[in-house]
């Protein structure tokens, strides 16, 4: 009965968690595009995952990380709501960093791809 109740509970931070999911999706799409335009993956572990399993493996890897992070946020938030919210906010900020870098790199790669 406890498991059934636990599975039916709402999340504590639905807004930030949806933003994290969106940012993870955007990160995978931008990474896929950059790699196919001749760019490189800066994260050695993610690069290895991409080399072994391609975009699908990269997606699984990214969403497993986000899923784990959401579980940690929910666990902490169930004990201290404000701490969970702060952690979710920090997670969003960290998730935005590779997206900002990718958006700065992408125009140059696109120009080189067209010209080359």
60 pLDDT exceeds 50?
yes
DSSP state of 10: P
Residue 19 sits at the vertex; the CA angle it makes with 81 and 93, to the nearest 5 degrees, is 75
Q: Which residue has the tokens 């890897």?
A: 61
Pairwise pLDDT comparison (73 vs 115), residue with the higher score: 73
Pairwise pLDDT comparison (8 vs 110), residue with the higher score: 110
pLDDT at position 1 is 42
Q: What is the pTM of this model?
A: 0.85
Q: Which residue has the tokens 């997606």?
A: 59
């Amino acid at each position: 009965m406890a498991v059934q109740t636990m599975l039916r509970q709402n999340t504590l931070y639905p807004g930030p968690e949806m933003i994290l999911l969106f940012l993870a999706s955007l990160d995978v799409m931008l990474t896929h595009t950059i790699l196919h335009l001749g760019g490189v993956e800066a994260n050695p572990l993610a690069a290895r995952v991409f080399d072994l399993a391609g975009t699908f493996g990269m997606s699984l890897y990214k969403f497993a990380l986000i899923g784990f992070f959401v579980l940690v946020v929910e666990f902490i938030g169930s004990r201290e709501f404000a701490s969970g919210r702060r952690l979710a906010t920090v997670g969003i900020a960290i998730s935005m960093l590779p997206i900002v870098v990718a958006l700065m790199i992408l125009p140059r790669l696109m120009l080189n791809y067209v010209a080359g």
